[in-house]
Amino acid sequence: MGLSHHRIGILFSADGPYGLVGRAMLNGALLAVDEVNARGDCVLEPVIRDPQGALAGYVAGAERLLDAGIRHVVGCYTSSSRKEIIPIFEKRDALLWYPSHYEGFETSANVVYTGAAPNQHIVPLVRHLLARGGRTAFCVGSNYIWAWENNRILRETLAIAGGDVAGERYLAVGETAFDQVIAAILAAKPDFVFNTLIGISAYRFFRDFRSACAARGIDQARTMPVASCSLAEPELEAIGPEAVDGHLSSSVYFTSIDTPRNRAFMAAYAARFPEGPTPSADAESSYIAVHLLARALARAGTEEAATVRRAACADEFEAPQGPVRLDETTLHACLTPRIGLSTAAARFTIVAQAEAPVAPDPYLVRSDPRVVPVSRRPHLKVVP
């Protein structure tokens, strides 16, 4: 196949309430573009749009990219933004390459999912916590589908194991007033806190919760650890040294993975983006998405969605996290689940990991728990 040239869309929010995460994802995508173009069998021309965290910005950005004739877009961090633009891609038969961990219960022939599905992050996290005696959770999250659905999965999984959710609180994206939430957590005394806050809300919560516990003589990390499926290295740095250590995170990628492939990725990223932010799981997933897209374009010889989709599903990529391939039925990726414990150096010590990549199960029909009945009425709160 000869040299081919393709314009691809890049749709990340490098500004706004979760701009730190968006900048890391943008960096991961651009690093992959550089590597693809240096390889020489395919040339990618990235066209970048920044929605700045606004749902209307994602719609406008996606439409502008597709109006310009672009058929493949790598982008979105939040599930609300992804769901907002999927109909646009389905209507125009273009492909959205979605590189973020998410809550699952979705497939679309016009979306390729390179981030973790629920059986690859939340289910392993719940198993890890249950094995260590964690039976009672308190859930605090940003008020949108990512938190709602992850908390539902957690609640139903805990219920099967005889556990419970002592309380749930949701706050608007970008909210940073946590006094009432923290008071409720301290009153409930859960075994652990399940965090689905994002961006600046999450950073502030970690600091305030640690401070409130310290004021009461509570060793927060040991007594009420915070567990997340989204906490990554750039966010640890944003939390700051006073509250950075002792948090659990379930992810398919940590910068501390000790392999030659990951060390090479880390070195290349640092050389290309010395100003940071530090790579994250979502940055690595963005890197994977661009490489899989470029390899599929080169093999397909066309930008037509169905042909590129088939070519991508026939491939396997050696990523920084390990081998990655797509499941042709769901278009989700086979990934390697890991559990990390944050350190004072704003990094993660990997305390558990799967022996091999795990097939995606976005609807949790093959994973335990296969059936997730709720044995008792959940303690839900209406948010006006």
What's the pLDDT band for 380 if we cut at 50, 70, 90? low
Q: Are strands 322-326 and 333-334 parallel, antiparallel or unpaired?
A: antiparallel
243-249: average pLDDT: 98
Q: What is the pLDDT of residues 29-49, one digit of tens each?
A: 999 999 999 998 899 999 999
- Tell me the C-alpha distance between 98 and 310, whole Å: 17
Across the range 363-379, mean pLDDT stands at 60
pLDDT at 22 over 90: yes
Nearest residue to 375 via CA among 226, 228, 199, 155: 155
| Predicted local distance difference test score (pLDDT) of residue 375 | 44
What sign does the dihedral 304-92-94-366 (CA atoms) show?
Answer: negative
Q: Supply angle C-alpha 261, 287, 38, rounded to 5.
A: 80
pLDDT for position 371: 39
Q: Judge whether 100 and 22 are in contact, CB under 8 Å.
A: no
pLDDT at 383: 53
Query: pLDDT tens-digit profile of 84-102?
Result: 999 999 999 999 999 999 9
Tokens of 341: 């414990």
For the record, the structure tokens of 113 come out as: 């999912």
Measured distance CA(299)–CA(347) in Å, rounded: 38
Residues facing residue 136 across a β-bridge = 164
User: How confident is the model over 305-314, as a mean pLDDT?
Assistant: 98
pLDDT for position 379? 54
Instruction: Determine the Cα–Cα distance for residues 111 and 82; give it in Å rounded to an integer.
Output: 9
pLDDT in tens, 199-227: 999 999 999 999 999 999 999 999 999 99
